Amino acid sequence: MAHHLENAKDAAGNNASPVLPDEVKNFLIDIDGTITEDVPNEEPERMATCEPFPDALEIMEKWYEEGHIITFFTSRTEAHREVTEVWLKKHNIRYHALLMGKPRGGNYHWIDNHIVRATRFEGKFTDLVTETREIEVFKK
């Protein structure tokens, strides 16, 4: 399935940022501690030798084949880009983009004008399921 951005308009009929079709997810996936062991930036030599989690490989490949967008969003720095790209290629991990320099420390609170869904990784990659949770939102 190919993904194509769809044109969008605001309430006044002006062009707005394009959106993906509803059936296509734009996955932003962390690397360290999520698809492989938690390798800190202070130990870059481990970035070349760590092994990906098999369940992560399986699910990410499935998502890629289904036409979803796979973007890695990592706290690794630009200095780690080459070792990261080589590692991804070595393990045949297909992806669309690699964003370096995610802020370290967690407790992320993403504010965007597009739909944002967050899934906390808790040890195993599986198909996603729908659950209802409390979230923080802006006052109306």
Whether residue 81 is predicted with pLDDT greater than 60 in this model: the reply is yes
More confident residue, 126 or 50: 50
pLDDT at 56 over 70: yes
Identify whether the C-beta of residue 81 lies closer than 8 Å to the C-beta of residue 75.
no
Q: Is the pLDDT of residue 2 over 60?
A: no
The pLDDT of residue 3 is 60
For residue 9, what is the enclosing H or E element? strand 6-9
13-24 pLDDT, tens digit per residue, is: 998 888 888 889
Q: Which residues pair with 98 in a beta bridge?
A: 72
β-bridge pairing 26-29 and 97-99 = unpaired
